[in-house]
């Protein structure tokens, strides 16, 4: 019988091996062999066959994807922790309820991937992704949203997300999405991809095109529209003419692929700008 295959999670790159009580590793025991990795080395009882030692060493040095969950509902993070309890190569290391809290967490927590919803307070997922792309360029971002509209997926992918995963997916799809993204690929849920394909064809947008997301002025215009401000009131608030406001409205509807003011309002409400 081979022992030591009960592997529990530790810090980045570290595995703590579980031994039966009657088989304890002793670093000073000449009958022990040693397994090394970049972080530390451990003594392994020589009762292990060489094949088992190789299996243990492989698991011990396995890279773990450290995930920060950013969602207004903490239940999402709890659910993912439960899902990943028996997954060898992933773990949830932190939770943030808003975009701003995400950056607070990043001051002290090391992570490999941010799983982020779009509809979060203070700084929405699109703005947070844009900032992450510039401030933490090596950190992978995977959007996790219930929104299927092309404008949301479009914005997240262009601002630097490596994938767009719909909430409600099964565990296997979740694991596939994370592993694909961590290997440098892109993962987009099938229904979202269909909407993206249709949306880009209709609006003649492309992933390599000029569209780079909304400017601060454009986001403020949408917010004021959603607050039922008139063109005159918006113009006064922003220090521009009513004609400029009208131009902003028209440009935003084309850019976000919405057909009327109601679409702009929905965009702001979904992202909790009001």
Contacts of 144 (CB under 8 A, 6+ apart): 71, 76, 115, 116, 117, 165, 167
What pLDDT is stored for residue 144 in this prediction? Answer: 96
Domain boundaries, the chain: 6-60, 65-203, 216-270
Tell which CATH classification among 3.40.50.2300, 3.60.15.10, 3.40.50.1580, 1.10.1060.10 matches the domain 65-203.
3.40.50.2300
> What is the b/e burial string over 131-144, where b = at least 16 CB atoms within 10 angstroms of the residue's CB?
bbeeeeeebbbbbb
Do the domains at 65-203 and 216-270 have one common CATH topology?
no
Please compute the mean of the pLDDT values over residues 256-274 and round it to a whole number: 77
What pLDDT is stored for residue 187 in this prediction? Answer: 96
What pLDDT is stored for residue 156 in this prediction? Answer: 86
Residue with more model confidence, 76 or 57: 76
pLDDT at 195 over 50: yes
pLDDT at 46 over 70: no
* The model's pTM: 0.59
Among 144-158, 193-207, 240-254, the minimum mean pLDDT is found in 193-207
Residue in the structure block whose two tokens are 């392994």: 44
What pLDDT is stored for residue 126 in this prediction? Answer: 86
Tell which CATH classification among 3.40.640.10, 1.10.10.10, 3.20.20.70, 3.40.50.150 matches the domain 216-270.
1.10.10.10
What pLDDT is stored for residue 44 in this prediction? Answer: 44
Please compute the mean of the pLDDT values over residues 159-177 and round it to a whole number: 94
Residue with more model confidence, 12 or 245: 245
Query: Do the Cβ atoms of 72 and 119 come closer than 8 Å?
Result: yes
Residue % of the chain over a pLDDT of 70:
70
pLDDT at 90 over 60: yes
Please state, as a whole number, how many other Cβ atoms lie within 10 Å of the Cβ of residue 19: 15
């Amino acid at each position: 019988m081979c022992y030591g295959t009960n592997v529990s999670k530790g810090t980045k790159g570290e595995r703590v091996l579980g031994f039966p009580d009657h088989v304890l590793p002793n670093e000073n025991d000449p009958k022990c062999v040693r397994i090394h990795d970049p972080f530390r080395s451990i003594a392994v009882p020589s009762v292990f066959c060489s094949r088992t030692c190789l299996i243990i060493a492989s698991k011990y040095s396995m890279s773990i994807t450290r995930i920060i969950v950013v969602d207004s509902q903490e239940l999402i993070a709890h659910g993912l922790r439960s899902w990943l309890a028996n997954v060898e190569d992933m773990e949830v290391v932190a939770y943030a309820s808003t975009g701003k809290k995400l950056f607070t967490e990043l001051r002290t927590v090391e992570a490999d991937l941010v799983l982020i919803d779009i509809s979060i307070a203070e700084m929405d997922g699109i703005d947070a992704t844009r900032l992450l792309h510039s401030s933490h360029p090596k950190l992978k971002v995977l959007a996790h949203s219930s929104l299927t509209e092309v404008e949301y997926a479009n914005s997240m992918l262009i601002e630097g997300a490596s994938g767009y995963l719909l909430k409600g997916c099964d565990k296997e799809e979740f694991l596939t999405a994370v592993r694909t993204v961590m290997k440098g690929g892109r993962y987009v849920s099938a229904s979202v991809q269909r909407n993206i394909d249709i949306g880009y064809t209709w609006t003649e947008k492309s992933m390599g095109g000029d569209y780079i997301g909304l400017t601060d002025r454009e986001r403020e215009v949408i917010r004021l529209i959603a607050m039922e401000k008139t063109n005159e009131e918006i113009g006064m608030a922003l220090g521009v003419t009513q004609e400029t406001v009208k131009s902003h409205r028209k440009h935003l509807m084309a850019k976000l692929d919405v057909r009327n003011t109601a679409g702009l309002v929905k965009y702001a409400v979904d992202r909790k700008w009001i």
